[in-house]
Amino acid sequence: MAEDTLFSEVLDPANRANPYPIYARLRETPVSPQRDGSIVVSGHAAIRSLIFDPRLSSEDLPPSRRPRTGNPLKDWLLNPIKDRIATAHRPLIFRDPPDHDTLRHAVMREFSVARVQALRQRVVRDVDTLIDACRGRDEVCLVEDLSYPLPVSVICDMLGVPEADEPQFQAWATQLATALEPDARHDEASRHRTVAAFDAISGYMRALIRAKRRRPTADMLSALAAPGPDGKAVMGDFDLISTAILLLVAGHETTVNLITNGMLTLLRHPGELERLRADPERAPRVIEELLRYEPPVHFRTRKALGAIEIAGQTIPKGAPVILLFAAANRDPARFDDPDRFDPDREDNQHFGFGGGLHYCMGAPLARIEAEIALVALCRRLVAPRLMADPPPYRPGASLRGPERLGIRISGIAPGQS
Amino acid sequence: MSIAETAGIVVVGASLAGLRGAEALRRNGYSGRLTVVGDEPYRPYDRPPLSKHVLSGELAPDATGLPELDTLDAQWRLGHAAVALDRAARTIRLANGTGLAYERLLIATGAQARPWPAASGGGLEGIFTLRGRDDAARLRTALAGGPARVLIVGAGLIGCEAASCCRDLGLPVTLVDPNPAPLARSLGTWIGSVVADCLRDAGVTFHAGAQVLRFAGDASGRVVRAHLADGRAVEADLVIVALGATRATDWLKGAGLMADAGGVTCDGACRVLGADGTPCPDIYAAGDVARWPNPLYGGRLMSVEHWGNAVAQAAHSGRNMLAPADDQRTYHHLPAFWSSQFGINIKAVGLSEGADAVAIVQGSRASRRFLAVYGRAGRSIAAVSFDQARWLPAYAEAITAGRAFPPIRDASDQGDYLALAPGFPPPRAASTLIEARHG
């Protein structure tokens, strides 16, 4: 009884603050069939092998329902089903090669080192401004004061979405992110809210893309909307809209967790907080260890297109496969003393950004934002103390992080800039 | 047995396998005297860039040095090849006449480019082979001089990579090969024809099924044209002969070892066999030159001329050299190679030789992004990827396990599945012809 309901315990909000003991039990069977027919993979070696297995699909549609004509609108008219996101506008995280590769290649060309590095100074300024705004207070609410507004403002800037418009799509972004949560995906009402949010944000993006075409600016959306080097569109309009939405939602819903989980972890390990404060050069090590120890995305779901033999089990054809990255990150078969937060760890090949062909496109940006934010928080918050441990969590089991993180402080030290 | 204070271990061959072998000795705790002998005057360098970035001018020939272990602490005897081995006296003789004693020996002399015979015009100026750093430097200089037409003889990996580089440099190129398609010997003509399309698109004139008989020169001894067996002539002022390599075993003649132009024969633990077939406990081999019974192929003797094998086998031999006789581990190796040409990354695992079927299991031939698997008698034996290398480990695992052909159906980007004849040329027909003609 207990063994096939372990994953439902992961989804249970009561376990959100500390899912790791459940992960440890799941790992006893690294490839673990659940009662509903899904397979939970929690071992590091098994995940490593599966993310490079061509039979593992990210498509959430059977082939018969996939777009066929190359014209999404026509596909939808020919194949009218309720869930329009499914047929016409699936973002690339829900697609397989070769379409996935074409879209990803186009995005990665724009997600360049130069473009990300150019944002560094801006992130430093933003962080200082956000922390400055907390002056005179004796407590900070980290999520609303910094972890949420920082990545949102950065992704808006990078994409070319006017920040003044941001409040109107906050709620849409939160709703769309539930597409990664099994509970929400199975809830009909939530699915309808997701479709509505998608329609609304699509309308916004469509208008914005039209404006970028009329008057291109130096941002990513203008670049993706412009013809490629060969004079042809780098991607169709439907894909452009879904890609823009994907980047925007990812910017809203993931880095927030990295920064908040990061500060929470440092406050629980005051020695490490002190070391980072004294030596900001440690930031990359600290961030990599955070990505292993408290990753922003805990799992992703795939589907087995054929039977796959792995770790003494057979994943049956058609089974949903849940890649539990956060559990693999603490696999004692892969990491020494895995439940210890240790930024000095040398061998740290974590799945904090996932892995394989869907590896996080925004990883370099997330690393820069988290480094700058955490270093500034450590240096500027005077005598920070957690107000509640554990803090209240957001509902997501996959995109997991605190809803609020109250930190009591004795003042704000001056900024760098 | 203590070998620490005496002559120590001598590694003959200062390229990839020699270096990695020496490093393995140190990593496994050997602290005695360590000598590395090389015929070229250079510290170990990496060969794959020679036919790519060095020819195109992006990388200087002397910028190809391999990183060396800081604590290697080896004595380098560079610039004079080993020319003889005296097992009874445990010495080797170098080309400059000096002798060198050893307690244990690692043979890693590699291979040498098969030259064009002098009798058929091989001595003419403007004819190049490509194996070492100096070859690449000379060829690079000649290409930079802007030849009117480059003729490449042999459409194997080196020939095709050189053709790709020459086209990037804007040089007119003619490529001649006896097989119906490029890379026919390693990939078969059906997959090779994808490369033929790339050649055509890049503007290379490709003469398939053609053979060069001889080169003709002008009064000053410079090559001006090649005469083909079918009577045609190709005007060219620069020729690259890319007919593969022979194992560097000449120096072992008379040493009483099982060695010939195909390599030096070892047992499963990479110990070199004496002429009577018993392993020499003090002589090991690794890299291109080593021919050993590979358990992955039922103990068939093979030598593998690829980068990955040089690294893995050298590490293996180095380890076994220090281990006691009852702890000699057998070397298993799944051959693998890669190539960059015409903007495509080609990567392959397994041995496609003898395949009776090939199928594209991911992607499509038309897009030139695909994964193809080779089968023999219903088993998967090899796989090749064109710009799809990320999936290759899954296939390598299936090939190692000897799974049914094809090992993976239902890939996410599987097109219409069709198993076809791979179209391999008859075994060694081309080279036998060449060897017979020139031999």
How many structural domains compose chain A?
1
Indicate the pLDDT class of residue A417, thresholds 50, 70 and 90: low
In a domain, A196, yes or no: yes
User: What is the C-alpha separation between A198 and A202, in angstroms, rounded?
Assistant: 6
Tokens at B213, concatenated = 């008989």
B196 C-beta neighbours (distance < 10 Å), count: 22
Q: How far is B389 from chain A (nearest CA, A)?
A: 10
pLDDT score of A61: 57
In a domain, A333, yes or no: yes
> Which residues lie closer than 8 Å to A64 by C-beta, 6 or more apart?
none
Tokens at A210, concatenated = 């039209």
In a domain, A339, yes or no: yes
Q: In chain A, which residues have their Cβ closer than 8 Å to the Cβ of B411?
A: 54-55, 305-306
Q: How far is B397 from chain A (nearest CA, A)?
A: 10
Q: Is B343 on the interface with A (CB under 8 A)?
A: no
Tokens at A27, concatenated = 């790992």
User: What is the C-alpha separation between B389 and B217, in angstroms, rounded?
Assistant: 44
Q: Is B66 on the interface with A (CB under 8 A)?
A: no
Looking at chain A, which residue has its C-alpha nearest residue B369?
A: A98
**A314 phi, psi to nearest 5 deg:** -110, 120
Residues pairing with B173 in the sheet? B150
pLDDT score of B318: 98
B contact test, residue of A50, A53, A95 with most B CBs within 10 A: A53
Please check whether residue A406 is in contact with residue A391, taking contact to mean a CB–CB distance below 8 angstroms. yes
Q: In chain A, which residues have their Cβ closer than 8 Å to the Cβ of B412?
A: 54-59, 96-97, 305
List the end-to-end C-alpha distance of chain A, in Å, as a whole number.
58
pLDDT score of A415: 86
Range of the domain at A86: 3-408
Please check whether residue B176 is in contact with residue B208, taking contact to mean a CB–CB distance below 8 angstroms. no
- CATH class of residue range B118-244: alpha beta
pLDDT score of B282: 97
Q: In chain B, which residues have their Cβ closer than 8 Å to the Cβ of A105?
A: none
> Which residues lie closer than 8 Å to B157 by C-beta, 6 or more apart?
B51, B183, B186, B337, B339
Please check whether residue B360 is in contact with residue B371, taking contact to mean a CB–CB distance below 8 angstroms. yes
Structure-model confidence comparison of residues A166 and B163, the more confident one: B163
Please check whether residue B200 is in contact with residue B170, taking contact to mean a CB–CB distance below 8 angstroms. no
Q: In chain A, which residues have their Cβ closer than 8 Å to the Cβ of B367?
A: 98
Residue from A223, A176, A157 nearest A369 by CA: A157
> Tell me: the pLDDT tens digits for A174-232?
888 887 888 776 778 887 888 788 888 888 999 999 999 999 999 999 999 998 888 88
pLDDT score of A83: 46
Contact A52 B394 (CB under 8 A): yes
pLDDT score of B200: 97
Contact A57 B412 (CB under 8 A): yes
In a domain, A320, yes or no: yes
Instruction: Answer yes or no: is pLDDT of A69 > 80.
Output: no
Residue from A185, A302, A304 nearest B410 by CA: A304
Name the region of B7 (left: φ>0; alpha: ψ -120 to 50; beta: rest).
alpha
B contact test, residue of A49, A50, A52 with most B CBs within 10 A: A52
Instruction: Answer yes or no: is pLDDT of A1 > 60.
Output: no
Q: In chain A, which residues have their Cβ closer than 8 Å to the Cβ of B410?
A: 55, 305-306, 317
Tokens at A274, concatenated = 């002190």
Q: How far is A304 from chain B (nearest CA, A)?
A: 9
Structure-model confidence comparison of residues A109 and B173, the more confident one: B173
DSSP B201: H
Contact B408 A49 (CB under 8 A): no
User: What is the C-alpha separation between A129 and A113, in angstroms, rounded?
Assistant: 25
- CATH class of residue range B9-112+246-327: alpha beta
Q: In what order do the strands lie in the sheet with B104-107?
A: B75-78, B34-38, B9-12, B104-107, B279-285, B271-273
Instruction: Answer yes or no: is pLDDT of A85 > 60.
Output: no
> Tell me: the pLDDT tens digits for A357-402?
999 999 999 999 999 999 999 999 999 999 999 999 999 999 999 9
Indicate the pLDDT class of residue A293, thresholds 50, 70 and 90: very high
> Which residues lie closer than 8 Å to B435 by C-beta, 6 or more apart?
none
Arithmetic mean of pLDDT over chain A: 89
Tokens at A200, concatenated = 């609304």
Residue from B56, B427, B333, B368 nearest B200 by CA: B368
User: What is the C-alpha separation between B297 and B350, in angstroms, rounded?
Assistant: 10
Angstrom distances, CA of residue B33 to CA of B8, B75, B98 = 5, 8, 18
Please check whether residue B373 is in contact with residue B196, taking contact to mean a CB–CB distance below 8 angstroms. no
Instruction: Answer yes or no: is pLDDT of A65 > 70.
Output: no
Contact B362 A57 (CB under 8 A): no
Q: Enumerate residue ranges in chain B where pLDDT < 50.
A: 1-4, 429-439
Residue from A359, A402, A364, A415 nearest A52 by CA: A359
pLDDT score of A88: 53
Place of tokens 């930079």: B144
User: What is the C-alpha separation between A109 and A123, in angstroms, rounded?
Assistant: 22
B59 C-beta neighbours (distance < 10 Å), count: 17
Instruction: Answer yes or no: is pLDDT of A73 > 70.
Output: no
Helix (H, G, I), strand (E, B) or coil at B382: strand
Angstrom distances, CA of residue A371 to CA of A269, A382, A385, B366 = 17, 19, 20, 45
Q: How far is A159 from chain B (nearest CA, A)?
A: 29
Size of interface A-B (CB pairs under 8 A): 46
Contact B412 A357 (CB under 8 A): no
Indicate the pLDDT class of residue A265, thresholds 50, 70 and 90: very high
| Cα A354 → chain centroid | 9
Q: Where in chain B is the domain with CATH 3.50.50.60?
A: 9-112+246-327, 118-244
Q: Is A356 on the interface with B (CB under 8 A)?
A: yes
**A398 phi, psi to nearest 5 deg:** -85, -60
Torsion from C-alpha of A98, A99, A101, A106, nearest 10 degrees: 150
| Cα A245 → chain centroid | 13
Q: B336-420 architecture in CATH? A: 2-Layer Sandwich (3.30)
pLDDT score of A174: 85
Name the strand (E) or helix (H) holding B285.
Answer: strand B279-285
Helix (H, G, I), strand (E, B) or coil at A278: helix
Question: Burial code of B318-339, b = ≥16 C-beta within 10 A, e = fewer?
Answer: bbbbbeeeeebeebebbbbbbb
Contact A52 B393 (CB under 8 A): yes
User: What is the C-alpha separation between A200 and A176, in angstroms, rounded?
Assistant: 11
CATH code assigned at A346: 1.10.630.10
Looking at chain B, which residue has its C-alpha nearest residue A302?
A: B412
Tokens at B96, concatenated = 């400059």
pLDDT score of A238: 85
Q: Is A216 on the interface with B (CB under 8 A)?
A: no
Q: Is B406 on the interface with A (CB under 8 A)?
A: no
Q: What is the ipTM of this complex?
A: 0.80
User: What is the C-alpha separation between A77 and A87, in angstroms, rounded?
Assistant: 10
Looking at chain B, which residue has its C-alpha nearest residue A306?
A: B410
User: What is the C-alpha separation between A54 and B155, in angstroms, rounded?
Assistant: 31
pLDDT score of A229: 81
Q: Where in chain B is the domain with CATH 3.30.390.30?
A: 336-420
Contact B391 A57 (CB under 8 A): no
Q: Is A53 on the interface with B (CB under 8 A)?
A: yes
Q: Is B393 on the interface with A (CB under 8 A)?
A: yes
Helix (H, G, I), strand (E, B) or coil at A164: helix
User: What is the C-alpha separation between B73 and A380, in angstroms, rounded?
Assistant: 49
Q: In chain A, which residues have their Cβ closer than 8 Å to the Cβ of B371?
A: 54
pLDDT score of A80: 44
- Give DSSP secondary structure letters for B320-334: HHHS-GGGPPP----
Stretch A12-17: mean pLDDT: 95
Q: How far is B295 from chain A (nearest CA, A)?
A: 24
